[in-house]
A and B are shown apart, each in its own frame.
Chain A
Amino acid sequence: GDSVTQMEGPVTLSEEAFLTINCTYTATGYPSLFWYVQYPGEGLQLLLKATKADDKGSNKGFEATYRKETTSFHLEKGSVQVSDSAVYFCALSDSTTGTALIFGKGTTLSVSS
């Protein structure tokens, strides 16, 4: 079945550092891809999405490009802030159900000032 693999955390960075969180997927067909963020004690919030190959999703300085050839959707940010500390989840739309999301295990990001 479809699956998502993302880099193990935690990732610890200093403020203004460059961030990359790797995400690769296995899927039948052409899923939509998402990054969700979960702040402590809160639910998941959609950070960005891409629905077809070569699409770039972006939001709040974060970017990710849908790469079909490498089945990847890596999350990047040029300069992280302390407020970016959270758990980041890569997800895809399940080809079996068509709509349910399949999530990676999550990557914890900790940014210090």
Chain B
Amino acid sequence: DSGVTQTPKHLITATGQRVTLRCSPRSGDLSVYWYQQSLDQGLQFLIQYYNGEERAKGNILERFSAQQFPDLHSELNLSSLELGDSALYFCASSPRGRRDSSYEQYFGPGTRLTVT
């Protein structure tokens, strides 16, 4: 158990809909990362938040957005869903921000999104 929790575990929805995925980082970790794992694209970095602020962006579509709240949990919002958005979405947290950070990231179990 990495200490990172994600809900829900599975999500099935229709094209055009909007969903929210939730992530709680390990206790004390300030950074949260979102990744998408799909068969054709592999594992891709989407976005990072650090202590409530957006820190870095990867291959995140404009239809997707995220935020990190004062209690450090994060939500990834996916809107106008398309069939191609079906994937596993992972959240990871990192102790980065502490003096002894080493870029190590701890992954949650993922949310499997199926768009029909």
Contacts and interface: CB of A to CB of B under 8 A. Distances in A.
B109 A42 contact: yes
Contacts of B44: 103
Interface residues of B, number: 26
Contact of A100 (B56, B102, B110): B56
Interface residues of A, number: 24
Nearest to B34: A100
Given A43-B109, A99-B94, A32 B56 contact: no
Interface of A: 32, 34, 36, 42-46, 49, 51, 89, 93-94, 96-106
Return the 3 tightest CB-CB contacts between A and B, nearest first. Answer: A97-B56, A103-B43, A43-B107
Interface of B: 2, 4, 31, 33, 35, 42-45, 48, 55-56, 58, 90, 92, 94, 96, 102-110
